[in-house]
């Protein structure tokens, strides 16, 4: 529980500058706060795939030269009766392929019900003004000798 509270506190600390920003925003800009809902498939190495559902809140900043960095906190649920909620704290770094398209790599830590572990992955995001769609892959290196797990996600969200 402490780990969850510490992660949420860290996310709030990162997001606090957003509240101080002007509400005026270029509609083509996709930096700043963002939220999304996503669904997809998750599976253990050589295992059966299960549907997942989740949400993410994060913040991206431009780092120059068309690149960006961001932090996010996510919550995901494998949609089977015996599985409960898992959380993730993730950093991502990427580049703009076009003014509307981002390509990024990600790394973080997943925790909660089930085995905890480091996750890595990649994704693409396309902006439609303040709304965006994303496609993402994550691989989790589970602790305690549990089989590694994978997830492919598709989501829709909004930039603020």
pLDDT at 88: 96
CA dist., res. 7 & res. 12, Å (int): 9
Residue 90 belongs to domain with CATH number: 2.40.160.20
Tokens 């572990």 sit on residue: 117
pLDDT at 81: 64
Q: Provide the domain count of the chain.
A: 1
What residues make up the domain containing 137? 2-18+31-159
Taking only the tens place, the pLDDT of each residue in 34-83 is 999 999 999 987 778 889 999 999 999 999 999 999 999 999 998 886 77
**Whole-structure pTM value:** 0.79
Residue 98, in any domain of the structure: yes
Taking only the tens place, the pLDDT of each residue in 111-157 is 988 789 999 999 999 999 999 999 999 999 988 877 888 999 999 99
Residue 25, in any domain of the structure: no
Please say if the pLDDT value at position 5 is more than 50.
no
Residue 137, in any domain of the structure: yes
């Amino acid at each position: 529980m402490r780990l969850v509270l510490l992660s949420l506190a860290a996310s709030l600390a990162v997001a606090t500058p957003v509240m101080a920003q002007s509400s005026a925003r270029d509609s083509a800009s996709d930096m700043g706060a963002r939220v999304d809902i996503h669904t997809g498939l998750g599976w253990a190495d050589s295992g059966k795939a299960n549907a997942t559902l989740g949400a993410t809140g994060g913040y991206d900043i431009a780092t120059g030269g068309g690149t960006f960095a961001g932090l996010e906190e996510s919550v995901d649920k494998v949609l089977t009766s015996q599985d409960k909620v898992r959380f993730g704290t993730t950093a991502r770094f990427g580049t703009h392929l076009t003014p509307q398209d981002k390509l990024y790599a990600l790394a973080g830590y997943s925790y909660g019900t089930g085995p905890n572990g480091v996750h890595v992955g990649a994704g693409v995001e396309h902006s439609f003004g303040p709304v965006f769609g994303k496609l993402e892959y994550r691989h989790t290196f589970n602790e305690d000798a549990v089989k590694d797990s994978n997830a492919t996600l598709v989501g829709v969200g909004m930039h603020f």
